[in-house]
Chain A
Amino acid sequence: MTPDRRNGGRRRRRDLMVPEAEFRSYYGRPILKEPAWTLEVPWYFFVGGMAGASAPLAVASRVTGNHRLARSALTVAGAGVAASVPLLVSDLGRPERFHHMLRVFKPTSPMSMGSWALAAMGPAAVAAAVSDRLGILPGLGRAAEVVSGVIGPSLCTYTAALVANTAVPVWHEARRELPLVFAGSALASAGAASAVLTPAADAGPARRLAVAGALVELAAAGAMERRLGELAEPYHQGPAGRYARLARGCTALGAATVAAAGTRRRWAAVAGSGLLLAGSALERLAVYKAGFQSARDPRYVVKPQRARIEAANH
């Protein structure tokens, strides 16, 4: 075996029935760079998604006359976007230049589009929540509520577009399913948060939304892993594997609890919602960590690209 014909630095297991297909690399070193991002990023994915799904829930509740649920959802939306800004700014290498995000408007950059969406939705959601709580400028508050409700859904899913629009195999090759994973996760967390904050008699839509979101999240995550095939390995190994297992356990248990007893028992609604919130956050952490693990191993880069070349040559 020549020195360059290493198996990506992975130890060989003698008990393997089928030997892993060999690939060549430069001393097993990574080809891609791991992202420079820190943990603020997955937490932003979580709170931003929760806020984004809460905003349309507020509008829909208002339209159907459920003002208590509208107030809860609006509070979650306002608090979520307010928490998003410091998370995003502190992750920058040069936080004092955060406003450079609004120098250009660039459809090839989901981060650019997301910055504009957040810049539009943030003030609207906060203004709507403050107006509703304090009862000031109700007309303006309602208008702001509609604006945030319209922009909110994009805030749930652009973050998936952001990570999918990279060279990292576990993110890029999941580009069709990842937005749905994030949408489900956002719906589950938004429903759960409003279910906790709203009296049981008015919280029916929130509980149903939480359960539906959980089902979307679980189904989309399964579809994503099937699509990824061998590239999905990070979801079963290391930190991403642990987060993914915990996320799916919490989400399934939370959804079952809310669906089974959430209507009748307040404690079940609260406990189930807590599990769903945890599951949603953990799913984002799993996706985030998986990207690092995927970027680190040259096998995930070389093997699919080599296969593509072979396929083109035949």
Chain B
Amino acid sequence: MTLTDLPTPTFGGGYDGEARPRMGFFTDTSICIGCKACEVACKEWNLVPEDGPLRISGNSYDNTLALGANTWRHVAFIEQAKPVQMPDVDLAAAAAAGAVAGVPPARDGLRWLMSSDVCKHCSSAACLEVCPTGALFRTEFGTVVVQQDICNGCGYCVPACPFGVIERREGDGRVFKCTLCYDRLKDGMEPACAHACPTRSIQFGPLEELRERADDRLQALRELGVDDARLYLRDEADGIGGAGAFFLLLDEPEVYGLPPDPVSTTRDVPQVWRAAAVAAGVVVAAVAAAVAGGRR
């Protein structure tokens, strides 16, 4: 079965014979080990420059801090004074049988959440929709990419992104973000980060297939008693129309630095234009009234 045979609808149309099923990422953070191989592979493959001198942030093992022009994958580290939710295994019996060394004391838990963040390749991508040059475009894979020969660095996409992903690169003037390895996809390869991930926490594939896989994974975790597992940006009814890159998280999105209910500003653009038109009408009316009042 080739990619084009899959039933996933293509995005937006307009690619005729070149259209492909919408491709994306499913990042299952429950099996992320925080190795940052994704960060390194991304930088290496995409020739992303370093983002300044190395600094120790003090935020657990996260010294990358955020996505930006020079960081297209970012692994978040969160330390919580909360016991790890283990599958229902009788540790006491296992210890008595000599299968494990001992039973960790209850209530002395520390859990470590790790999550590899990336551009969400939104269905309603505000960056693309506000771009006045057409530099940001939707590829035949349904991903959102900046054409670097078109971008004039106006910077409008930067505050438009509800996730704070895209950024202007210092010394270059243009904006940069994850391309979902557009060049590799063109050659039928998976993105560098997914390829480098040793635990398959980052999964790449046709979006529809990934969604099914994510639903199965969520159900499996729930059955194991991991009741704080949840899917983030999987739902097409959300404020960005669902994402091309979605996540399985173990806590609220804001704990990972993600907005809990992101909305594409384009959803409100009719209201924005209406208000601007009314205000322009006020300008006309005020001028007419002022002039009608006579010369003195």
Contacts and interface: CB of A to CB of B under 8 A. Distances in A.
A103 B280 contact: no
A263 B163 CA distance: 53
A212 B290 contact: yes
B83 interface: no
15 contacts: A24-B254, A34-B158, A60-B291, A93-B153, A98-B152, A101-B132, A108-B266, A110-B272, A115-B132, A156-B280, A167-B160, A180-B282, A204-B293, A206-B290, A295-B159
Nearest to B115: A26
A109 B278 CA distance: 18
Nearest to A30: B164
Contacts of A309: 260-261
A53 interface: yes
Interface of A: 2-4, 23-27, 29-37, 52-53, 56-57, 60-61, 63-64, 66, 69, 91-95, 97-98, 100-101, 103-104, 106-112, 115, 152-154, 156-158, 160-162, 164-168, 171-172, 175-180, 182-184, 186-187, 191, 201-202, 204-206, 208-209, 212-213, 216, 263, 291, 295, 298, 301-302, 305-306, 308-309
A209 B290 contact: yes
Contacts of B131: 106, 109
Interface string B244-280: 0000000110111111111101101101110111111
Contacts of A158: 276
A111 B259 contact: no
Contacts of B65: 29
Given A93-B173, A101-B152, A179-B279, A2 B80 contact: yes
Contacts of A176: 271, 275
Nearest to B155: A36
Nearest to B126: A167
Interface of B: 57, 59-60, 62, 65-66, 68, 76, 78-82, 126, 129-135, 150-156, 158-168, 172-175, 251-252, 254-263, 265-266, 268-269, 271-273, 275-284, 286-296
A109 B128 CA distance: 9
Closest 6 CB pairs of A and B: A93-B153, A93-B173, A26-B257, A97-B152, A179-B279, A36-B155
A171 B60 CA distance: 33
Most A CB within 10 A of own CB, among B173, B268, B283:
B283
Contact of B129 (A34, A108, A306): A108
Main SS of chain A's interface residues?
helix
Contacts of A3: 60, 78-80
Given A3-B78, A26-B78, A205 B295 contact: yes
Contacts of A29: 59, 65-66, 257
Contact of A57 (B78, B81, B129, B291): B291
Given A101-B133, A179-B276, A111 B162 contact: no
A35 B159 contact: yes
Given A33-B167, A92-B152, A104-B133, 9 more contacts: A26-B76, A31-B164, A111-B156, A165-B265, A165-B269, A184-B282, A212-B289, A216-B282, A216-B286
